[in-house]
Amino acid sequence: MADEIPVGCARPTGSVEGEPGIALNPIEKEKSVKGGPAAMIKVGKKAPDFTAPAYHKGKFTNFKLSDHLGKWVVLCFYPGDFTFV
């Protein structure tokens, strides 16, 4: 499920399933900023699937949201490590 990932000097980061693994091109970005369908989260609708690298109990792993179907997931975003709140 959550395979340990090899660690190099690169900084692996999260990516949205179904989107290319590189930064959005300017046209797509424009769309999402203007609130296209991809930018809207609605209650009662599917949570966008994503994969993100994780630090978990001493290991670097990969977390894929859809691997956790069958359980409740609390997904919390926050501004930054070592900030205060």
Partner 1 sequence: MSVDSIFVHKMWNDTELSKMVKGGIPFPMLSDGGGRVGSVYGIYDEDAGVETRGRFLIDPDGIVQGFEVLTPPVGRNVSETLRQIQAFQIVRQSKGGEATPSGWKPGKATLKPGPDLVGKVWEVWKVEQAFD
Binding site for partner 1 (CB under 8 A): 2, 11-16, 19, 23-24, 32-33, 38-50, 52-58, 60-61, 63, 65-66, 69-83, 85
- The alpha carbon of 32 is separated from its chain's Cα centroid by a whole number of angstroms, namely 16
Beta carbons of 53 and 15 less than 8 angstroms apart: no
Hey, is 54 helix, strand or coil?
strand
Q: Which is nearer to partner 1, 11 or 27 (CB)?
A: 11
Q: Which is nearer to partner 1, 13 or 26 (CB)?
A: 13
CA dist 44 and 46 (Å) reads 7
C-beta of 26: minimal distance to partner 1 in Å? 13
